[in-house]
Amino acid sequence: MSVATAVAIYFARVFGLTAFYHRYFSHRTFKTSRTVQFLGALLGNSAGQRGPIWWSAHHRLHHQHSDTANDVHSPNQQGFCYSHMLWFMTHEHYFTPRKYVKDWLRYPELRLIDRFDFVAPMLLATSVFLFGSVLQRYAPELNVNGPQMFVWGFVLSTVALYHVTFCINSLAHRFGQRRFPTNDDSRNNFLLAMVTMGEGWHNNHHYYPNSVRQGFYWWEVDLTYYLLRAMAWCGIIWDLNVVPNHVLVVESRPTTDRQRF
């Protein structure tokens, strides 16, 4: 039960990051209501990776300077460990480069989430602990308790979520295939695409970042896109930006790095 809960919470928060923090707040690849925008921001915030404004600002900065000296995410410039996770632990990058997110600063509810970005993760952690405690009392045959559920459902799933997210900054610029001739070293990586619900098609994304779909071809599994299409079918989101046909014309043969997964 604890493992199943951890997996469910992991993928729910992966979706919050990939669908809302990345494809919506960072790139505006679809439209939605203000209510869903707020709920998506909360879901992404529950991953413990700061608020949606901070996250999207740094991601937009990354795209502007990808794999150059000004890109703190680049393993080619800053080294693997720094690009993977050390960069956001620095005092310099704790603050939000506000000029990149003027479109989101006008929403007070988003600024509130950014200011109190610890609240959603704390509420999730508390809820998971209470859930385990309730199961211990009313379903003892499951052999679950509060601390156990907290460790599996929150701590371990959060650590796993951290590192698969960080791998897009680090590993997806080192290992994989390059289909499109981008100005950076972004790469498509099948394994990363599986654990991040589609974010591993990173070379595709850097070639055309305004697409709601990062797996450009039918064989490139993009679970986040499939769920967004389902939400669009239900009328929850709309105006999804798709990949234009001219983008799908490969301008150069795919190149494979020798250090490939």
Please give the backbone phi and psi of residue 252, each rounded to the nearest 5 degrees, phi first.
Answer: -150, 155
Answer yes or no: is 108 within a domain.
yes
Distance CA 40, CA 52 (A): 9
Bridge pairing between strands 255-256 and 177-178? antiparallel
Length of the chain: 261
The closest alpha carbon to 209, from 102, 77, 107, 62, belongs to: 62
At residue 162, the 3 state secondary structure works out as: helix
Answer yes or no: is 63 within a domain.
yes
Domain count, the chain: 1
pLDDT band at 255 (very low <50, low <70, confident <90, very high): very low
Answer yes or no: is 21 within a domain.
yes
Q: What is the pTM of this model?
A: 0.90
Answer yes or no: is 261 within a domain.
no
Question: CB of 145 within 8 A of CB of 137?
Answer: no
Distance CA 44, CA 26 (A): 12
The closest alpha carbon to 127, from 159, 154, 158, belongs to: 154
Answer yes or no: is 39 within a domain.
yes
What does the block give as tokens for 149?
């559920």
Please give the backbone phi and psi of residue 32, each rounded to the nearest 5 degrees, phi first.
Answer: -160, 180
Q: What is the share, in percent, of the chain residues with pLDDT greater than 90?
A: 64
Answer yes or no: is 249 within a domain.
yes
Answer yes or no: is 24 within a domain.
yes
Residues 6+ apart with CB under 8 A from 92: none
Strand partners, 237: 32
CA distances from 222 to 75, 189, 198, 199 (A): 25, 12, 4, 8
Q: Model confidence over 192-238: pLDDT tens digits?
A: 999 999 999 999 999 999 999 999 999 999 999 999 999 999 999 99
12 CB neighbour count, 10 Å cutoff:
15
Answer yes or no: is 97 within a domain.
yes
Please give the backbone phi and psi of residue 132, each rounded to the nearest 5 degrees, phi first.
Answer: -65, -40
- Amino acid identity, position 95: F
Q: Model confidence over 130-169: pLDDT tens digits?
A: 999 999 889 888 889 999 999 999 999 999 999 999 888 8
Q: Which domain holds residue 89?
A: 2-256
